Structures are given as C-alpha cells and as structure tokens.
C-alpha cells in the first residue's frame, strides 16, 4: 500500500496545536483529542483514496486491514474480525470516551448500533448488549485509540525530509489547554466505590485463554494495593494519568515483583489502571498542585484579610507609642 511517507511521518510526530492548524488549513474539523485529530488527518490526507467507511472496511482483505492498521500506527495483529473492529473503533471513537464505564450510561439504541458496527449479536436486553460491547473493548485493550509510542517519538525510520530554515519558537505542549480546575482539590487516595472495584476485578481476572489465568487472579487479589498505588501516583502528579504515569506504574509493579512481564498481563493491568484512575477523577493533564489534597491543601479563612489589617493597625499604634516615649 503506497502512501506519502513524509506526510505520514510529520503527522506521527505532530503535537496537538500543529494538528489543529493542519486540520483548520485543510478545512477539516479541529475538535477532539490529539489522537482523534491525528487519525482524522491520516484518514483524509494520507488515505484519502481508500474507502474507510464501515462498508469499505468490511470489504478489505486480511492483508489490507493489516497494512491499513500499520499506517494508522496502531496494533495490526489479530483475526480478520478483530482487525475490522479495531480499525472501525480507531476511526470513529475516542478511546478515552468509549470506555466500559461509560457504556452504563448509553441508551439501548446506541448500544445496539455499536453491536451492529462491531459485528456482534443484536438480540438481548440492554445489559446483554452492554456486556458484548464491553467484551470487545476489553479484548482490544490499548490496541486502538493512540499510535505506538515509538512512532510518536521517532516517526518513521529512513524518511528523508528536506531541511527547512525556520524561526525557532517554543514548541507548544498539550498541557497549555485551558482546563477546569476544581474549587476543592481532589484527594485521589479516597477509595472508589465497591461496585467499581468489583468491575475492575472482573475485568482483570477475565480468562484470556493463554494459560495466564493464575497470574491475572493473583493481580485481581491485590486490587486494593493497585488502587492505592494509582491514588499515590495521581496525588503526586497533579491528577494526571497519561503515558508517563503508566510507565511509572509498571516500573513500580515490576519492583514489587508483580507478574507483569507478559505483554497480555501488562496490557490488561494498564487497562484496569486506566479505568480506576478515571473513576478517581484523573485527566490527561495535571490540573492541581502536586500533593494538594483536601487534607494538605491550604484553606483560606474568610476573615484572614481583616485579621491581618487589625494586626498591622496594632503594630502601627505600638510603634507610635514607643516613639512618643523616646
């Protein structure tokens, strides 16, 4: 499959503001997260000659699906059906919004539509439909929704781009996005609800059919330790849960001797960690001071300014009395 390698390399490396500028210049929608924008631009600029509608995806061969997934920078392995599901999800949904937890808020018609697009059975109650979609999301894991880390950091290997003399300017960071800061800092060490813990245990201990059930069961038994570790990381990183925090989480897990060497286990554990962090109120950018929990955050008293004014007045009066005695 022949594509513009230079343009693709640029889109892989581009940050949010650059992607927005590209989308605006090309007349495309510029809303959405950095990965949603990246997928939109790759679809419309790199893969514009290919039919990537649901029907077009259904008509692709196994090899074509693998090549297309590689162009979008996401996981390309799996069965024919898994590849179709992954590509459709990546092109049409934000992985941070379409989560297992958010399925509980969807109406039956929306779940029915998702089942149809994901090639699942369409019969059953709303709960049954929700379970089918949740199963696909769990099995796909982190295989969609964001490009591979190596592509984001290094782009495509052996791509020769022309050197262009430009005025050096500070590269915009995603953290400059204006976000809503809560009036009272969140204490991420507060435990999540019991039903959320049970959902996390079910997702973590679900059989994978690869002989890893015992390791997954062991991790499921440590779910409260996992939750506390996530809370500690969120408190120390201002409520942010991103790739950096995931890497830290895995490093700590390895130091503790947890069985996360297998990619299947680490992927499942990161999926559960992401769900728990979302339940605790995390975001993809820091939004409060490090360690600023309701316990440690300074609390401003309503009469502070009046008290300070009175103290200053007393000090001035005392100085005048002392000066008069000299």
Give the model confidence (pLDDT) of 266-309 as tens digits. Answer: 888 888 888 898 888 887 656 666 555 544 444 444 444 555 56
Give mean pLDDT, residues 172-186: 51
* Confidence at residue 209, expressed as pLDDT on a 0 to 100 scale: 63
* Confidence at residue 277, expressed as pLDDT on a 0 to 100 scale: 86
* Confidence at residue 299, expressed as pLDDT on a 0 to 100 scale: 42
* Confidence at residue 300, expressed as pLDDT on a 0 to 100 scale: 42
* Confidence at residue 303, expressed as pLDDT on a 0 to 100 scale: 46
Q: How many Å apart are CA 42 and CA 69, to the nearest integer?
A: 11
* Confidence at residue 304, expressed as pLDDT on a 0 to 100 scale: 47
Residue 224 backbone class (left: φ over 0; alpha: ψ -120 to 50; beta: rest) = alpha
* Confidence at residue 168, expressed as pLDDT on a 0 to 100 scale: 40
* Confidence at residue 216, expressed as pLDDT on a 0 to 100 scale: 86
Residue 68: how many other CB atoms lie within 10 Å: 25
* Confidence at residue 101, expressed as pLDDT on a 0 to 100 scale: 85
101 CB contacts (<8 Å, ≥6 apart)?
A: 196, 199, 275, 278, 279
Residue 193: how many other CB atoms lie within 10 Å: 9
From 137-146, 175-184, 264-273, the region with the lowest mean pLDDT: 175-184
* Confidence at residue 57, expressed as pLDDT on a 0 to 100 scale: 94
Place of tokens 């300070």: 308
Give mean pLDDT, residues 195-210: 80
Across the chain, what does the average pLDDT equal? 80
SS (H, E, C) the chain: CCCCHHHHHHHHHCCHHHHHHHHHHHCCCCCCCHHHHHHHHHHHHHCCCCCCCHHHHHCCCHHHHHHHHHHCCCCCCCCHHHHHHHHHHHHHCCCCCCCHHHHCCCCHHHHHHHHHHCCCCCCCCHHHHHHHHHHHHHHHCCCCCCCCHHHHHHCCCCCCCCCCCCCCCCCCCHHHCCCCCCCCCCCCCCCCCHHHHHHHHHHHHCCCCCCCHHHHHHHHCCHHHHHHHHHHHHHHCCCECCHHHHHHHHHHHHHCCCCCCCHHHHHHHHHHHHHHHHHCCCECCCCCCCCCCCCCCCCCCCCHHHHHHHHHHHHHHHHHHHHHHC
| pLDDT tens digits for range 147-171 | 988 888 888 877 644 433 333 444 4
CB 247 within 8 A of CB 137: no
Q: How many Å apart are CA 200 and CA 132, to the nearest integer?
A: 17
Q: How many Å apart are CA 167 and CA 70, to the nearest integer?
A: 33
| pLDDT tens digits for range 78-88 | 899 999 999 99
User: Over 80: is that where the pLDDT of 316 sits?
Assistant: no
* Confidence at residue 323, expressed as pLDDT on a 0 to 100 scale: 57
Provide the whole-model pTM.
Answer: 0.51
User: Over 60: is that where the pLDDT of 194 sits?
Assistant: yes
Q: How many Å apart are CA 146 and CA 10, to the nearest integer?
A: 16
Place of tokens 């649901």: 54
Task: Please list the residues that pair with 283 across neighbouring strands.
Answer: 240
Q: Which is higher by pLDDT, 171 or 125?
A: 125
Report the percentage of the chain scoring pLDDT > 90.
33
* Confidence at residue 266, expressed as pLDDT on a 0 to 100 scale: 83
Q: How many Å apart are CA 227 and CA 201, to the nearest integer?
A: 11
* Confidence at residue 177, expressed as pLDDT on a 0 to 100 scale: 40
| pLDDT tens digits for range 33-80 | 899 999 999 999 999 999 999 999 999 999 999 999 999 999 998 899
CB 221 within 8 A of CB 174: no
User: Is the dihedral angle over the CA atoms 243, 249, 250, 251 positive or is it negative?
Assistant: positive
Give mean pLDDT, residues 254-265: 84
User: Over 60: is that where the pLDDT of 231 sits?
Assistant: yes
Give mean pLDDT, residues 93-111: 89
User: Over 90: is that where the pLDDT of 116 sits?
Assistant: yes
């Amino acid at each position: 499959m022949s594509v513009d390698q230079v343009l693709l390399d640029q889109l892989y490396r581009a940050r949010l503001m650059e992607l927005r500028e590209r989308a605006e210049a090309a007349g495309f929608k510029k809303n959405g997260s950095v990965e949603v924008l990246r997928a939109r631009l790759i679809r419309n600029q790199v893969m514009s000659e290919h039919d990537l509608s649901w029907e077009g995806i259904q008509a692709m061969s196994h090899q074509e699906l693998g090549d297309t997934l590689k162009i979008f920078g996401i996981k390309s392995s799996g069965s024919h059906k898994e590849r179709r599901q992954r590509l459709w999800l990546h092109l049409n949904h934000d992985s941070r919004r379409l989560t297992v937890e958010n399925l509980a808020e969807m109406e039956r018609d929306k779940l029915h539509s998702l089942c149809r697009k994901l090639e699942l059975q369409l019969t059953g109650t709303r709960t049954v439909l929700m379970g089918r979609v949740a199963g696909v999301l769990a099995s796909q894991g982190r295989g969609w929704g964001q490009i591979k880390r190596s592509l984001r950091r290094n782009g495509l290997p052996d791509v020769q781009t022309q050197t262009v003399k430009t005025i050096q300017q500070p590269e915009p960071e995603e953290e400059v996005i204006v976000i809503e800061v809560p009036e009272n800092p969140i204490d991420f060490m507060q435990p999540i609800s019991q039903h959320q813990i049970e959902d996390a245990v079910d997702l973590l201990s679900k059989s994978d059919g690869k002989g890893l059930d015992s390791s997954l069961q062991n991790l499921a038994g440590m779910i409260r330790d996992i939750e506390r570790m996530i809370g500690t990381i969120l408190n120390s990183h201002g409520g942010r849960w991103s790739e950096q925090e995931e890497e830290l989480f895995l490093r700590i897990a390895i130091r503790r001797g947890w069985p996360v060497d297998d990619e299947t286990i680490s992927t499942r554990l990161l999926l559960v960690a992401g769900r728990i962090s979302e339940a605790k109120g995390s975001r993809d950018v820091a939004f409060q001071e490090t360690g600023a929990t309701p316990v440690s955050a300074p609390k401003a008293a309503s009469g502070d300014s009046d008290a300070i004014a009175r103290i200053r007045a007393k000090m001035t009066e005392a100085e005048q009395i002392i000066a008069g005695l000299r």
